[in-house]
Structures are given as structure tokens and as C-alpha cells.
Amino acid sequence: MLDASPRPHFIVLDACILMSGVLRPALLDLAAAGWFHPLWSERIGLEWRRNAARIWPIEPELLMREWTLMQSRFPAADPGDTAPYEAVLRHSDPKDFHVIAAGLAGKARCGLPAPPRVTVLTWNLKDFNRSELRQQGMDVSDPDRLFAQWWQTDAAAIETVLQRTLADLAADGRPRDGALPEVLHRERLYRLSNLARQRSAALAA
């Protein structure tokens, strides 16, 4: 079931979101299924690859290959030069101006008669000034809140995507430790974990 809003939903995936081996593939699969239009920039991709290579023993070539696949899968996700859109920002954290600018550039480039809804998806909510984003026709959310909203829309579809993501990770040699609610809890998706646990209990009753 897709979002019933008449306006398409564009979501900027911040680098901290791409870091998660569960969130990233699940979100990309949902985007491919039409739940939203992903947005990012070359700078977001560079930040993700640099941080991932620093934290985990992952070869930069593998990260670059994944980034290239993402770009091929969603060729409209990168709106190009975002620098001009950073100039209008004042009140959010300057180091995250480029993230907001990716959303502004994507909104400007889409060419739709009605402005799309644009949300920055991030764990670093404190770095984004909500008033400033509203002035620019944007919003900010964390993944737990967003996934919980989607779950209320179509729990079966969201659960299917999440279970498939975990199965794909297991096939790649990264088996999950615990049932879906436990995995989601470790990913800091606390609302979603509770919803998944409630659904599991209801289906088992």
C-alpha cells in the first residue's frame, strides 16, 4: 500500500542513515516499491563511505561499488550541485547545510505542479532547525518515527521488507541475532520494535 497523499514524498537519506546495514537496504527496497523518492548527494555518499570505512573493516572499493549501485538504481536521487541552496540556510548546524540543500535541490528539480513533501531522515535531529526547514517547505524525522507511521499504514508490507532484508543479510554471511523485534531494538527502532512485537503476539494468539 502506497502513501495516499496527492503529493509525492521525497526523503533525503542522511549519511548516518546509510550507515545501517538494516536501514539502508530496507529503505532502498521501499523506495523501489514506490513508498517514497530517495534523495542524496555526492557529499552525503562520501561522508557515508568515509565513516563506514573508518568504523568497520570494509574495503573502500566495496563501499564505492555499493554507492555506484545505488546511483544506478535511483538515477534521479542525486540532484547535482547543492551549493547554491546552502546559501539560504542560517539556523541549522552548518555542517548539515548540505543535507538540507540536497532536499531543496531535489524539490526544485522535480518540476511538479505541486511542491512535493520533502523530509530529511536522520538520527541527528538536534542539528536541524525545524522552523528553518518549515520555511523551506521541508521537515525532519528519525527512522523510528517514520517506520512506525508506515507500519500503521501497512504493517504486512513493512514487515515483509524488513524480513527480506534480514534474510539477504544472512545469505551474505551476516545472520541475525534474535527475532525481528530484537533486531529492530538494536537498531534503535524502539517504536517499530514494539509494534512488531505486538503484531507477532496478535498473530500467534
Over residues 129-146, the pLDDT tens digits come to: 999 999 999 999 999 999
Q: Is the pLDDT of residue 166 over 60?
A: yes
Q: Is the pLDDT of residue 14 over 60?
A: yes
pLDDT > 70 in the chain, percent = 97
Q: What's the pLDDT at 48?
A: 98
Sheet strand arrangement including 138-141: 37-39, 9-13, 117-121, 138-141
CATH of the structural domain 9-141, one choice from 1.10.10, 1.10.3470, 3.40.50, 3.30.70: 3.40.50
Q: 205 falls in which pLDDT band (50, 70, 90)?
A: confident
Task: Indicate yes or no: pTM above 0.75.
Answer: yes
Q: What's the pLDDT at 41?
A: 97
In the block, cell 552525503 appears at 44
Q: Are 103 and 118 in contact (CB under 8 A)?
A: yes
Q: Is the pLDDT of residue 6 over 60?
A: no
Q: Is the pLDDT of residue 29 over 80?
A: yes
Residues 6+ apart with CB under 8 A from 34: 2
Mean pLDDT of the residues in the chain:
93
Q: What's the pLDDT at 1?
A: 34
- Mean pLDDT over 45-57 rounds to 95
Q: What's the pLDDT at 3?
A: 43
Q: 7 falls in which pLDDT band (50, 70, 90)?
A: low
C-alpha grid cell for residue 113? 505542479
C-alpha grid cell for residue 172? 551474505
Q: Is the pLDDT of residue 4 over 60?
A: no
Distances (CA, A) of 71 to 66, 77, 115, 154, 195: 9, 7, 24, 28, 32
75-128 tens-digit pLDDT: 999 999 999 999 999 999 999 999 999 999 999 998 777 789 999 999 999 999
Q: 2 falls in which pLDDT band (50, 70, 90)?
A: very low
Q: Are 115 and 137 in contact (CB under 8 A)?
A: yes
For the chain, where are the alpha helices, taking DSSP H only? Answer: 15-18, 23-32, 42-55, 60-73, 83-86, 97-109, 130-135, 143-153, 155-171, 180-186, 190-204
Start-end of CATH 3.40.50 domains in the chain: 9-141
Residue 201 carries which side chain, given as an amino acid letter? Answer: A
Distances (CA, A) of 176 to 21, 73, 98, 169: 11, 26, 34, 8
pLDDT > 90 in the chain, percent = 85
